[in-house]
A and B are shown apart, each in its own frame.
Chain A
Amino acid sequence: MLTAKEALRLLHRGEVSSRELTQEVLKQIERTEPAVHAFLTVVAEQALAEAEQADKHLAQARRDGDEIPPLLGLPVAVKDVLITKGIRTTAGSRILENFVPPFDATSVRRVKEAGAVIVGKTNTDEFAMGSSTENSAFGVTHNPWDLERVPGGSSGGSAAAVAARMVPVALGTDTGGSVRQPAAFCGVTGLKTTYGRISRYGLIAYGSSLDTVGVLSQDAADAALFLNIMAGRDPLDATSVDAPIPPAELRARDDLRGLKIGVPREYFGGGIQPEVESAVRAALEVFADMGAEITEISLPHTEYAVPVYYLIAPAEASANLARFDGIRYGPRVPADSMWDVFRRTRGRLFGAEVKRRIMLGTYALSAGYYDAYYGKAQKVRTLIKRDFETAFEKVDLIAAPVAPSTAFRIGEHTNDPLAMYLEDVFTLPANLAGVPGVSFPVGFDRLGLPIGMQLMGAHFQEHLILEVVHTYQQATDWHRHQPDPLGDDEE
């Protein structure tokens, strides 16, 4: 599979048509999907029709010398928590099993207006609550590197679809690591944007002070292209920010002299898989060899990120998910009174983890416990945010592992929610502070599973991070390794 930029170059030159490209994508989905299950919905006919339209548009633009929209004819996949006009959007939940949105999320609209062809919707933990896609109501996604293992989550379908080269790029969302961790587990590049960078309009809300739209791609160059298209103020999301839009093109630097990378000591040691640490250290050596200055720093409140996040996000979720009540959309479980309709529809159609988080959040907000839980968590969130502000006075970027281990086995953590939450310890702080981060492949463990590393930057520093990752990806080829989920390459 080509990268998005490679595919677009061929499309613009007329060396491949959007129809051919889309057919190739659909063929790859058809072949790989039974083993991987990255998609909840594939819209083959619609995609082919749109591809044909794109081909006409391309031919006309070439003939008339018109400007070609930047993604014209490119097939992409979209995580199923971003709503898509006329394409079923479930959020991985039975409570939205048949929901067909009447409008597009702003991120989706911008990608469509740039000419992209949506081929389908990717699997996700229900309402993006999870780190493995095991919480999807419609079955787990299998990691293309080892089908017995999870792809990470919650954007596990998007990460697996890109890793298995079903699509060049897929949109994801990151509330507590949901782009970066699956990118690490699947060996792809994952961009988590600054809070407010990309409109959240049409992102089915989970934790509104934490939710961000992101990109899963084969490399940093493609992430930059999509960031450029989706970023920017949107009147429909009051928290979206009118900051300068980062350019679509990345420049590979000759060296990284003058760049200061901080390595937080709290992210290493206890509990981290030794191969993950050594791969991250090896990547830091590459950055050092390019001239970057690597210094140890401290983010002293890191250990509180799990309790802070798992109070704030569920509290926000308990309010956001109040709208799912069996009245305006989704199936209804019938009952004699409206109150019983609410209780039964929600009780029976939400999955176990979603109910767990609604309960946790409701408790944290309830009378008598608000100050001790939610209020306290918001104050400690300030301390975590200040940790980052202090660090960015001294360094340009912060380097860290993405997850304590490589992809775990399906079922390994499902009976112990606390253990699952603790897996998120390295990704949660960026969301609590609102800073951007990029996860990218830096090696493999002895089982052949990909290892990811993340670079985080100050607010709105996506372009710097991506440029540094791009420079690394010019010098290394970890991001070019591909899994073989069907075993075709053996023998």
Chain B
Amino acid sequence: MPLSRADVIHIAELARLELTDEEVARYQEQLSAVLEYFAKLQGVNTEGIPPTASVLPPRTVLREDEPRPGLSREELLANAPDVADNQFRVPPVFGES
């Protein structure tokens, strides 16, 4: 099933990716070709077949709930592009988007 231009713009919005018009056109063509090839999966009979989310046998992993040292604030902020008052600084969350 080929993707429309609107589909591509919608997916990019869900994925929070700003795309140029040229990228939208290219991804529309390339992703349509990929999905067309992938349609061959629809021909596989999977009735009664459970999905595999992990190849390992399911098990519960527990640990003691003990406090232990983590990274310092300084280490955590060291790679941030914008820091103020020992915190990550971000542009307005509410308002125009």
Given A336-B96, A383-B44, do A348 and B18 touch, yes or no (CB 8 Å)? yes
Q: Which residue of A lies closest to B37 (CB)?
A: A418
Given A103-B71, A329-B79, do A339 and B38 touch, yes or no (CB 8 Å)? no
Contact between A363 and B31, CB atoms less than 8 A apart? yes
Contact between A418 and B16, CB atoms less than 8 A apart? no
Contact between B30 and A356, CB atoms less than 8 A apart? yes
Bound-complex Cα distance A343 to B82 (A): 17
Give chain A interface residues in 452-484, CB to chain B under 8 Å: 459
In whole Å, how far is A421's beta carbon from the nearest beta carbon of chain B? 7
Given A209-B55, A331-B81, A418-B33, do A362 and B18 touch, yes or no (CB 8 Å)? no
Contacts of A327 in B (CB 8 A): 80-81, 88, 90
Contact between B11 and A239, CB atoms less than 8 A apart? no
Bound-complex Cα distance A235 to B66 (A): 13
Given A311-B38, A355-B17, do A102 and B56 touch, yes or no (CB 8 Å)? no
Q: How does the 8 Å CB contact mask read for B18-47 relative to A, with 1 for contact and 0 for none?
A: 110001000100110111011011101010
A486 sits at the interface (CB 8 A): no
Contact between A382 and B49, CB atoms less than 8 A apart? yes
B67 sits at the interface (CB 8 A): no
Bound-complex Cα distance A16 to B38 (A): 55
Q: How does the 8 Å CB contact mask read for B62-83 relative to A, with 1 for contact and 0 for none?
A: 0100000001000110111110
Give chain B interface residues in 3-17, CB to chain A under 8 Å: 3, 7-8, 11-12, 14-17
Contact between A359 and B41, CB atoms less than 8 A apart? no
Contact between B54 and A337, CB atoms less than 8 A apart? no
Q: How does the 8 Å CB contact mask read for A299-311 relative to B, with 1 for contact and 0 for none?
A: 0010110111011
Contact between B79 and A379, CB atoms less than 8 A apart? no
State the main secondary structure of chain B at its contact with A: loop
In whole Å, how far is A294's beta carbon from the nearest beta carbon of chain B? 27
Contact between A310 and B17, CB atoms less than 8 A apart? no
B84 sits at the interface (CB 8 A): no
Contacts of B75 in A (CB 8 A): 102
Given A347-B17, A363-B11, do A356 and B27 touch, yes or no (CB 8 Å)? yes
Q: Which residue of A lies closest to B8 (CB)?
A: A359
Contact between B16 and A378, CB atoms less than 8 A apart? no
Q: Which residue of B lies closest to A233 (CB)?
A: B61
Q: How does the 8 Å CB contact mask read for A200-241 relative to B, with 1 for contact and 0 for none?
A: 000000000100000000000000000000000001001101
In whole Å, how far is B32's beta carbon from the nearest beta carbon of chain A? 10
Q: Which residue of B lies closest to A421 (CB)?
A: B34
Contact between B17 and A381, CB atoms less than 8 A apart? no
Contact between B34 and A310, CB atoms less than 8 A apart? yes
Contact between B81 and A355, CB atoms less than 8 A apart? no
Q: Which of B88, B91, B92, B97 has the most CB of A within 10 A?
A: B91
Contact between B31 and A359, CB atoms less than 8 A apart? yes
Bound-complex Cα distance A304 to B44 (A): 9
Residue of B56, B90, B97 near A195 (CB, 8 A) is: B56
In whole Å, how far is B63's beta carbon from the nearest beta carbon of chain A? 6
Contacts of A421 in B (CB 8 A): 34
Bound-complex Cα distance A328 to B77 (A): 7
Given A209-B54, A359-B11, do A337 and B38 touch, yes or no (CB 8 Å)? no
Contact between B78 and A102, CB atoms less than 8 A apart? yes
Contacts of B92 in A (CB 8 A): 336-338
Bound-complex Cα distance A99 to B44 (A): 44
Residue of B35, B38, B49 near A383 (CB, 8 A) is: B49
Q: Which of B52, B53, B54 has the most CB of A within 10 A?
A: B52
A11 sits at the interface (CB 8 A): no
Contact between A328 and B88, CB atoms less than 8 A apart? yes
Residue of A318, A331, A335, A418 near B15 (CB, 8 A) is: A318
Contacts of A335 in B (CB 8 A): 91
A30 sits at the interface (CB 8 A): no
In whole Å, how far is B29's beta carbon from the nearest beta carbon of chain A? 10
* Cross-chain pairs A/B with CB under 8 angstroms, 8 sampled: A103-B71, A301-B44, A350-B17, A356-B31, A359-B11, A376-B42, A377-B41, A378-B51
Known contacts A328-B79, A363-B11, then 19 further A-B pairs from the complex at CB < 8 Å, ordered by chain A residue: A98-B79, A103-B71, A307-B40, A327-B80, A327-B81, A331-B81, A335-B91, A338-B91, A340-B97, A346-B16, A359-B27, A362-B11, A375-B51, A376-B42, A379-B51, A380-B44, A381-B51, A383-B44, A434-B56
